[in-house]
Amino acid sequence: MAQIIDGKKIAANVKAEVRAEVEKLRAAGKNPGLAVVLVGNNPASRVYVSNKEKDCAECGFRSYEYALPEETTEAELLELIDRLNADSSVNGILVQLPLPKQICEQTVLHAISPAKDVDAFHPENVGRIMIGDFQFLPCTPAGVIEMLDASGIEIAGKHCVVIGRSNIVGKPMAMLLLHRSGTVTICHSRTKDLAAQTRQADILVAAVGKAGFVTADMVKEGAVVIDVGMNRDAAGKLCGDVCYEEVAAKASAITPVPGGVGPMTRAILMRNTLTAARNAAE
């Protein structure tokens, strides 16, 4: 049976480290803060925002929530972002996605100051990740790397296969694995004979967004399987992209859903906010 990579435990360690550093900043008269902007009343987004507020409290950050109505215009949201960019008490700005259809996500994300872009979505930060000269790392991919490191799993020289090519997970995940000297294959909906590709993976990262997409016949014996998916099955139960039970019987290590990558994403957000606060204090 596979080693279960405990994201909750690793995330707790990351947040404890962040809290210790935040206490040093506060002792020096700095009070770091994270602003979270929520537009509309998407129930899942509401849960995510509430969890981020709890993380801020746990790590010692001030938390500023801006809950805007569904009918908020793009201009109104951009005006708020301009104010937050100029506010020295706010070190990090996070706009919860998805946004209502009348607002262009790209325009909004590009409006956030790169120095406060704790999601690492701004083109400047994306470019820095590409060349390896970064301040912030995208939260989910960086959380995956942290989990591998904490579990003693070597990346260098391994064949790493990423299923999914989104800007938020797939592409940056591949880049971070490449920075760590992994040999990387990116698979997607147009990949021919997907299973033949995934069976070559020493480290397989599933970021598809389809419940139970990865089955045991797609996994090499002894592979490390990282499940980034966050889905609901037919019974409404939270599940990942991987058929957990059957793949766990074949893998050497695997992340559960829930309790795997999810907590790590939020922990890295706290680390990015700390980085932004340190940079502002210099």
The 10s digit of each residue's pLDDT in 221-276 is 999 999 999 998 888 899 999 999 999 999 999 999 999 999 999 999 999 999 99
The 10s digit of each residue's pLDDT in 188-228 is 999 999 999 999 999 999 999 999 999 999 999 999 999 99
The rounded Cα 71 to chain-centroid distance in angstroms is: 28
pLDDT at residue 282 is higher than 90: no
Q: Which residues contact 227 (CB under 8 A, 6 or more apart)?
A: 206, 214, 240, 241, 242, 244, 254, 255, 256, 257, 260, 261
The answer to whether residue 167 sits within a structural domain is yes
Give the SS3 label for residue 64.
Answer: strand
Residue 275: what residue type?
T
Q: Clarify whether residues 258 and 223 are in a common domain.
A: yes
Q: How, if at all, do strands 33-39 and 62-68 pair?
A: parallel
Q: Clarify whether residues 88 and 175 are in a common domain.
A: no
Q: Clarify whether residues 72 and 165 are in a common domain.
A: no
Q: Clarify whether residues 75 and 166 are in a common domain.
A: no
For range 168-182, the mean pLDDT: 97
Residue 34, pLDDT score: 98
Q: Which residues contact 196 (CB under 8 A, 6 or more apart)?
A: none
The pTM of the whole model exceeds 0.75: yes
pLDDT at residue 1 is higher than 80: no
Residue 131, pLDDT score: 95
The separation between the first and the last C-alpha atoms of the chain, rounded to the nearest angstrom, is: 48
Q: Clarify whether residues 95 and 178 are in a common domain.
A: no
For range 144-159, the mean pLDDT: 98
Q: Clarify whether residues 106 and 219 are in a common domain.
A: no
Q: Clarify whether residues 258 and 158 are in a common domain.
A: yes
Instruction: Look over the chain and give the mean of its residue pLDDT values, rounded to a whole number.
Output: 96
Q: Clarify whether residues 67 and 181 are in a common domain.
A: no
Give the SS3 label for residue 33.
Answer: strand
Q: Clarify whether residues 144 and 103 are in a common domain.
A: no
Residue 121, pLDDT score: 96
Structure tokens at 262: 């999810």
Using CA atoms, how far apart are residues 82 and 107, in angstroms rounded to an integer? 13
CATH number reported for the structural domain that contains residue 242 in this entry: 3.40.50.720
What range does the domain containing 213 cover? 139-262
- Tokens 């790169």 sit on residue: 114
Residue 124, pLDDT score: 97
Q: How many domains does the chain have?
A: 2
Q: Clarify whether residues 107 and 149 are in a common domain.
A: no
The 10s digit of each residue's pLDDT in 35-86 is 999 999 888 888 889 999 999 999 999 999 999 999 999 999 999 999 999 9
Q: Clarify whether residues 88 and 150 are in a common domain.
A: no
Whole-number Cα distances in Å, 200 to 3, 46, 176, 244? 20, 39, 19, 19
Residue 234, pLDDT score: 85
Q: Clarify whether residues 54 and 153 are in a common domain.
A: no
Catalytic residues: 52, 96, 119
Q: What is the DSSP letter of 223?
A: -
